[in-house]
Amino acid sequence: MKSEMLLPKVLIPEAKIKERIHDLASEISFDYRGKDVTAICVLKGSFVFFADLIREIDLPMACEFMGLSSYGNKTTSSGEVKVTLDLTEPLSGKHVIIIEDIVDSGLTMQYLLNNLNARKPASLKVCSLLFKPEQLKSDIKLDYVGFKLGSEFVVGYGLDHAGRYRQLPYIGVIENERH
C-alpha cells in the first residue's frame, strides 16, 4: 500500500488475530476429532481468515469456495444475496463448517444456512472471525466467534471498503463510518 495513503486505525492488531485463530483452530480440531470436515470459504471477504485458520486446524479437510455478495452498498445490508460462485462438490453426508469474515445483520448467513442445509450435510456449523451482536437482524446461531464488535465499520484482513483495504494485515476502522 502506498505510504501516502491514509491507513485505517488499528482495532485488532495482527498478533491478536493470530493468537485468536490459534485458539479457534484448537477448539475446532478438538470438536471434530475423528471426522473429516469440509470447510467453506465465503468469498470474497473470508479468504484471508480462511487461509490462516485452515492451516492451524489439525483434521483431514476438503476446502470449498462459495461466492456471495449482498446487493446495495456496503454500509447497509439489503438481505438480498447474490451467489457469484457455487461449490464444486455435493455436501450430502459431510461435516461442513462455514468460514466467514463477519456476521453483521446476519442476513447473508441466514441465506447461506438455508442454501447449504438444503444440500443435506451431516452437520453444519458456522465460524466467523467477527460478529456484531447488536446489529443482528436474523435468528441464527454462531458456533465459533473470534471477536465481538460494536457498530464500527471495519476493514482489513479480507474486509473491504469499496473494494479497498482487503490486504491490510490487521482489522482497522475508518473513522466516521458506521455499519
- Residues touching ligand PRP: how many (CB under 6 A)? 19
Please report which residue ranges of the chain form alpha helices under DSSP H: 14-31, 47-54, 107-117
Q: Does 155 bind ligand PRP (CB under 6 A)?
A: no
Bridge partners, 154 (sequence order): 173
Q: Taking CB under 6 A as the rule, which mask of x and - marks residues 82-121 in contact with ligand PRP?
A: ------------------xxxxxxxxxx------------
Site string for ligand PRP, 34-73 (x = CB under 6 A): --------x-xx----------------------xxx---
2-19 core/surface letters (b: 16 or more CB in 10 A; e: else):
eeeeeebeebbeeeebee
Q: Tell me whether residue 54 or residue 104 sits nearer to ligand PRP (CB atom).
A: 104
Known catalytic membership, residue 104? yes
31 or 143: CB nearest ligand PRP: 143
Catalytic residue among 23, 104, 139, 143: 104
Contact 14, 43 (CB under 8 A): no
d(CA 129, CA 101): 5
Backbone angles phi, psi at 76, to 5 degrees: -135, 140
**Cα angle 75, 144, 103; round to 5:** 10
CB of 47 to ligand PRP, least distance (A): 9
Q: Which residues bind ligand PRP (CB under 6 A)?
A: 42, 44-45, 68-70, 74, 77, 100-109, 160
Instruction: Give the residue numbers marked as catalytic.
Output: 104
